[in-house]
Structure 1
Amino acid sequence: MPRLRGRGGNIGQRTRNSQLVQNSRLNRSAKDQLTDNENLRNQAAIKRTNGSQEQCNERRRANALRQRLARQRVTDTL
């Protein structure tokens, strides 16, 4: 079977952009990784504090529903 050419060669998650991101992550120093992790933690904390209790409850309900539906799909296929 001939090999796929062009965009067809990137089946799945191995796109050119994903490879560039992965390579840049691999080439970061430990200090850069620590600062990036700290920035992400701070962003998440700020988002949590700025959100209202209603938004938090709605997000929890949506996550619970998503999990319930996923479990139901798995049991249906079995």
Structure 2
Amino acid sequence: MPRLCGRRGNIRRLTRNSQLVQNRWLNRSAEDQLTDNENLRNQIAITRTNESQEQRNERHRVNTLRQRLARQRVTDTL
């Protein structure tokens, strides 16, 4: 089978840049991880306070459906 050239050959997308980002992410200090988690928590809290009741209901509906499908996949494989 011939070798794929160009972007088509990079199926897993392991580019030099993605490897650098992944290594930088893995080598973060504990303090950096804690501050990133805190910033993300704050950002999510702000986003949720600004969403309307319809958006909240839609988010809950989508999450419920996602959980049902995940449980169904697990029971199907068993």
Structure of higher RCO (CA pairs closer than 8 Å, 6+ residues apart): 2
Paired residues for 1:1-78 under 5 Å: 6-12=6-12, 14-16=13-15, 17-65=17-65, 71=72
2-side partners of 1:3 and 1:39: how far apart?
Answer: 44
Please list every run of 5 or more consecutive structure 1 residues that lacks an aligned counterpart in the other structure: none
User: Partners of 2:18 and 2:5 in 1: how far apart?
Assistant: 18
1 CA distance for matches of 2:22 and 2:10?
15
- Name structure 2 gaps, 5 residues minimum: none
Residues matched between the structures, number = 75
Amino acid at match of 1:15: L
TM-score in terms of structure 2 length: 0.63
Q: CA RMSD in A?
A: 3.0
- TM, length-normalised to structure 1: 0.63
Supply the distance in 2 between the matched residues of 1:2 and 1:15 (Cα, whole angstroms): 20
Separation in structure 2 between the aligned mates of residue 67 and residue 2 of structure 1, nearest angstrom? 42
